[in-house]
Structure 1
């Protein structure tokens, strides 16, 4: 892979989501925040390798078809005979919650990719794989290598579930954000990670360490924080919302694609930062306007 490519580390799983016309019926669709980001990057034309693990069941074959169909490189993806993790979506007026079935699944049998980190322009990490063992140890090792010798991008994607140790999970994700060069998080993520301060204040403090920090606020748009300039805001793109699952991952893919086109420079001017946010918002809007989690391939930079 070239230095304009992204290494995406994490989970590819199956989301069980309610059918639009029958909320009691569940439809299986490939998901997992890292897998969504990888597919989004490929569809946006940014070279990407996915370093997760695929199982030995029909769900895994569906996931593989989605990834390869988008153009994602799976040469660093592990294989296992174990089944695929399931995430049962609980769609509520305030957002979507998930209940995870992770025990004895292939999804979190990740390999340490620290030795591969410097082959890529950026390494993306976050989500469930960062907090569920044995994946968490592999993510931590790879993230340390990327933070030391490359560019580490983190989307904490905080998940709450009875199968997770909330205190430990939040501590791990805070450490990952602190190690990162770029952090993208929703306002809800930031509030959960730093409940003792306002989300904007937490982002300013994180950015003060030289990081590019982007906070998304759903229909209220997004804000970017750096240590050199005042915060830059961008509105959400108006769209008739059909679906919100995967919108944050599409936004993340948009940010990464824009940074790749800028040769991974982080010393952005306010105008460049605004352009990055606007591009990511357009990408996210293409997901919100349709069923499924696939961003439009033609979202312009």
Structure 2
């Protein structure tokens, strides 16, 4: 396993840089009008977030693992073209993981092909103090050996330095350890200073509480918690203040894959640009600030939903 090729890993991250740790894989997505045919599309929640950050002009460093096949080269082209820094990636001599997408009326499900792939061969990173924020989530948070590396990195971020941002992004499939994965994701959510989760995520992780109750409990512990409900909009919880909500941006839906990741990238961008600091900064987020953040993130997510693909548009988000 080697670092990304080249004599140097690239420039040092600046004050507003974001470290994104997790998987980059290939989504096999059904072609419209022909359910038997699938199109290969670079994906993985963390890779989507890293790409979204770069598209939104936020310095983005992806700490993932890219394999040695044509799919890995396709993923690399996507990340590089967006402006993502790959100097922290590793290159195992293994193929790329695949996620077969299964869109349905309740959202998109996935079936995973993960065995002996490069995608989850992540080394832990403890040099997190160089970054303004650290994002963790996706399959890498639950699939070993990546999960252990993600947990170590998250603990290092939570101990002091950058803003730790967590998206549990719960996935269900026979290839995943449901009980062990849920335990890992709950730990990350408890560590996170910013947590973005869907109502389905929280119902899976804390089935004995309503999503609202879970959000209020996490927020009371000092986190900024954002609950997303798809077409029903999003809600931000901070401290003991009453939550604030915004509706989803009305748009003709073309595609839902990557919308949550675009929302996450927009949230991080807003927090970094606004200079929100770890700890007290997120607890003291005011109502007007929370509404502004949610509105921006909703417009960015809508820019993805309205097109085929997962690339957000900053121009549309500003409209």
- Quickly name the TM-score band, shorter chain normalised: over 0.9
Write the mapping of 1:11-22 to structure 2, written as runs, cut at 5 A: 11-22=23-34
Query: 1:229 Cα deviation (Å)?
Result: 1.8
Aligned partner of 1:129 among 140, 144, 147: 140
SS at match of 1:61: helix
Query: 1:211 Cα deviation (Å)?
Result: 0.4
Partner residue of 1:269?
A: 286
Aligned partner of 2:213 among 178, 192, 201: 201
Aligned partner of 1:161 among 158, 173, 186: 173
Aligned partner of 1:290 among 307, 316, 319: 307
TM-score computed with the length of structure 2 as normaliser: 0.93
Is 2:45 the partner of 1:33? yes
Is 2:226 the partner of 1:214? yes
Tell me the distance in 2 between the aligned counterparts of 1:269 and 1:180.
19
Is 2:78 the partner of 1:66? yes
Tell me the distance in 1 between the aligned counterparts of 2:251 and 2:85.
32
Partner residue of 1:119?
A: 130
Query: 1:165 Cα deviation (Å)?
Result: 1.0
Q: Deviations over 1:100-157 (max 9, x none)?
A: 111100000001111x211000000011101111101110110000001122100000
Tell me the distance in 2 between the aligned counterparts of 1:207 and 1:149.
19
Q: Which runs of 5+ in 1 are unaligned?
A: none
Partner residue of 1:300?
A: 318
Q: How many residue pairs get matched?
A: 300
Query: 1:269 Cα deviation (Å)?
Result: 0.7
Tell me the distance in 1 between the aligned counterparts of 2:204 and 2:46.
20
Partner residue of 1:229?
A: 241
**Does the CA-based 8 Å contact 2:19-2:60 persist in structure 1?**
yes
**Does the CA-based 8 Å contact 2:259-2:302 persist in structure 1?**
yes
Tell me the distance in 1 between the aligned counterparts of 2:318 and 2:224.
22
Tell me the distance in 2 between the aligned counterparts of 1:111 and 1:290.
35
SS at match of 1:49: strand
Query: 1:228 Cα deviation (Å)?
Result: 4.0
Q: Which runs of 5+ in 2 are unaligned?
A: 1-12
Partner residue of 1:255?
A: 267
Query: 1:3 Cα deviation (Å)?
Result: 2.4
